[in-house]
Amino acid sequence: MNRNSKVKLIAAFCLSCAFGLLHAQDAEKAFVKENMTFAAGQYRLMLQTPVQGKDGKGVMPHSTRKDGTVSKASIYMWTSGFFPGSLWYLSEYLGDKALQDSALVYTRKMEPVKSFTDNHDIGFMMYCSYGNANRFSPQRSYRDILVESARSLCTRYREKAGVIQSWNGFRSWHGNKVYDFPVIIDNMMNLELLFYASRATGDPSFRDIAVSHARHTMMNQVRDDYSCFHIVYYDKETGKPIKGETSQGYSDNSAWSRGQAWGIYGFTMCYRETKDPSFLTTAQRMADFYLDHPNLPSDKVAWWDFNANQPGYVPGVRSNANNVVLNYRDASAAACTASALLELSTYSEGKLAKKYLEGAKAILHSLGSPRYRAELGKNGNFILMHSTGAIPQNGEIDVPLTYADYYFLEALYRYDRILDGKPLF
């Protein structure tokens, strides 16, 4: 072959690769669009289901009951911010004014929560609702509500231990002992509200609390293999960690998959806010634990716990996990992990960046398939099936959950921006 023919052949090869890539990108954009359009259809139907309870306090879609009807929660349930948040992502992506109006209506219902101090969940509740409202349609009043919410969260900061107390108490599955200073891995998700509040006010104290909480969680809650304890009990007097146990996982030493997801997401977000490399490494190793685990099914949607029903893992005597022989997936853990992996891919390099992006893509394609995605008008009008809330408490087993939908939509939104080469924030 002469030189000219070689050059032509190489040029033709490069062109066909470029067309192939463009075609693949178009197909992924179409995948996102089809899922968002479907989800909007489901949620338009969801918007027609009435509020619940004689007092009308059940306003936020939460899950389904045994008979398949929608269960709705009060604004003080930890999941209350996800429905408005989902409406924000849908309306923003689709440019749909009617959905934006609904997002606003549901967000405004959340305002009284700004002074809630009874547990740590205010970050989930207010940042998914008002946080997204403020991001996509900023208003001074939203900022004020978010800052007040951050102040409420800070009332639970315990200086000696350097962490935010999650719950007021937890009765161990092993007997009757009630621990009065439990911190759960989920708490990492509440820190985003605090970082925001420091940026909004210029007051570093919110951020200092968030960083302290994340550092202590990294030391005391993340294990050497980069799985994590669901709960760590602290001593109120000394501020020292006492021991790790579980509330929603299979056993104290197991890896509860949603806890793993909260950790991957939380440490990735802390790296975004601080650029502290130890947060990045923690997020990456926790992500590797999920993606490389021998028990991760080939569709990358994790079992509810990586170690359920395995030798060496024993639930506490009072835990309902002792009675559950079937294994169940948790689509909510997979959706949250996908969203986190997409962000993590943007802070990672080379093979790792590719691994996290491909991992997220695989999860999204599984969740968007008929195996997990509901049919229009079915599944209580939630988007995803097959989540698991709390097997030890004998609740929410193999059901739709509002937060599975939220993180699925967030991940689709993020994926679309990555495909377009746009920054995530």
Q: Minimum Å distance from CB 185 to ligand GLY?
A: 9
Task: Give whichever of 47 and 390 is closer to ligand GLY, judged by the CB atom.
Answer: 390
Q: Minimum Å distance from CB 236 to ligand GLY?
A: 22
- Any contact of residue 319 with ligand GLY (CB under 6 A)? no
Is 420 known to be catalytic? no
- Any contact of residue 186 with ligand GLY (CB under 6 A)? yes
- Any contact of residue 254 with ligand GLY (CB under 6 A)? no
Query: For residues 79 and 172, what is the distance between their CA atoms, to the nearest angstrom?
Result: 23
Name the residue with the smallest CB distance to ligand GLY.
186
Total residues at the site for ligand GLY (CB under 6 A)? Answer: 5
Is 186 known to be catalytic? yes
The residue within the footprint of ligand GLY, chosen from 166, 248, 337, 345 (CB under 6 A), is: 248
Catalytic residue (one of 101, 118, 186, 235): 186
- Any contact of residue 330 with ligand GLY (CB under 6 A)? no
Query: For residues 259 and 340, what is the distance between their CA atoms, to the nearest angstrom?
Result: 13
Of residues 383-402, those binding ligand GLY (CB under 6 A)? 389
Task: Give whichever of 40 and 384 is closer to ligand GLY, judged by the CB atom.
Answer: 384
- Any contact of residue 257 with ligand GLY (CB under 6 A)? no
- Any contact of residue 129 with ligand GLY (CB under 6 A)? no
Task: Give whichever of 85 and 389 is closer to ligand GLY, judged by the CB atom.
Answer: 389
Of residues 41-80, those binding ligand GLY (CB under 6 A)? 78
Of residues 337-356, those binding ligand GLY (CB under 6 A)? none
- Any contact of residue 132 with ligand GLY (CB under 6 A)? no
Beta bridge partners of 256: 305
Catalytic residue (one of 26, 121, 144, 180): 121
The residue within the footprint of ligand GLY, chosen from 207, 258, 361, 373 (CB under 6 A), is: 258
Task: Give whichever of 316 and 389 is closer to ligand GLY, judged by the CB atom.
Answer: 389
**Which residues are the active-site residues?**
121, 186
Q: Which residues in this chain contact ligand GLY in the complex, by CB under 6 A? A: 78, 186, 248, 258, 389
